[in-house]
Amino acid sequence: MKPECILIRVGEQSLKSKQVWTIFNRILIKNIRAALEGINYELKNEMNRIFIYTKNVDKSIERLQKVFGITSLSPVYVCDSKIEEMKKLSKKIFKPGKKKFAIRARRSGSHQFTSQDIAVKVGYIIPGKVDLSNPEKELFIECRQNKTYIFTEKIDGPGGLPLGSGGKIFGILNDQQDLVASWLLMKRGCEVFAVSNKKPLINKLKKWHIGQKFNIFAKIPENYDIPAIVAGEKTAENMPKTELMILRPLVGLDYKQFLTKINS
């Protein structure tokens, strides 16, 4: 039995006002659709949750892991929001064996049962020993008004804000530090206009520039109304005098800690 849906969680944008959240959510959905180009899917959008129904779950997750604004993803199984249906599905997909386990249930909507009721009744029919403090395996049940989503794993996304929600910026790409500096600004929602002739660095950054046009220049053009440049420390220290603001996100950071993520 394979998962039939992907649950997408957002983080920081959910703290914004309703008006700002609406704008950011629209951008995020656009970027998600760009990432899933060529894949058959159905998208359902709810407050702080996005559901992708598709037969290509693994391929879709691989692409979505590079979409800024996504905090985490889970491949999920779906059933009606009835405890008997949750019990049947949970027993099919969750087999902890001799490992200690916990049921983590959440509920939203109007039902004649609580989250605690779900956890107790589902836990009762799962063979094994329950340990809520230090489980070796966990089953997550997210009950919504009509549908319930059941899963066993949470896969990290890049987090941050949706690309395109933070304006535009020039990104100098001379070395790995510059690559990380541009990536960090993209994580804050900025579209990066790459200034470089180094294809390996350009290609690595382009993989993450999903949903927005990726512009490349040999040098900073004069006819663009973009107020700032982002660069790594080495490039920033040796940059010719300019009227543009120079952003240096690597001050106080070890850039190497981000390279594994960017190169993935």
- pLDDT at 197 exceeding the cut of 90: yes
- pLDDT, one tens digit per residue, over 114-142 is 999 999 999 999 999 999 999 999 999 99
pLDDT of residue 43: 97
Contact 232, 180 (CB under 8 A): yes
> Computed from CA positions of residues 158, 55, 121, 114, in that sequence, does the dihedral angle turn out positive or negative?
positive
* Cα(218)–Cα(166) distance, integer angstroms: 23
Count of alpha carbons within 13 angstroms of residue 123, beta-carbon side: 20
Give the residue-averaged pLDDT of 22-33.
95
In which residue are the tokens 């927005």 written?
212
**Whole-number pLDDT of residue 67:** 97
CA 163, CA 172: separation in Å to the nearest integer? 18
Please, which pLDDT band fits residue 74 given cuts at 50, 70 and 90? very high
Structural domains of the chain sorted by starting position, each given as residue range(s) with its CATH number in brackets: 5-156 (3.30.2130.30), 168-263 (3.40.50.620)
pLDDT tops 80 at residue 48: no
Helix (H) or strand (E) holding 149: strand 147-151
C-alpha 75/C-alpha 37 separation (Å) is 19
User: What does the pLDDT read at residue 206?
Assistant: 97
What global pTM score does this model have?
Answer: 0.92
What is the structure's pLDDT at 38? 96
The Cβ-side half-sphere exposure at 177, using a 13 Å CA radius, reads 15
Q: What is the pLDDT of residue 21?
A: 83
Contact criterion met (CB below 8 Å) for 27 and 165: yes
CB-CB contact of 21 with 32 (8 Å):
no
Contact assessment for residue 109 and residue 145, using Cβ atoms and an 8 Å cutoff:
yes
Mean pLDDT of the chain: 94
Find the mean pLDDT for residues 82-109. 95
Confidence at 13, pLDDT banded by 50, 70, 90: confident
Instruction: Centre a 10 Å sphere on the Cβ of residue 37 and count the other Cβ atoms it contains.
Output: 9
How far apart (Å, rounded) are the C-alpha atoms in residues 31 and 100? 39
Mean of pLDDT values over 191-209:
97
DSSP track, 176-205: HHHHHHHHHHHHTTPEEEEE-S-HHHHHHH
CB neighbours of 12 closer than 8 A, spacing ≥ 6? 69, 71, 159, 160, 161
Kindly state the average pLDDT of the residues 197-204. Answer: 96
pLDDT at 240 over 90: no
Residue-wise pLDDT tens digits, 151-183? 999 999 999 999 999 999 999 999 999 999 999
* pLDDT bucket at 17, cuts 50 / 70 / 90: confident
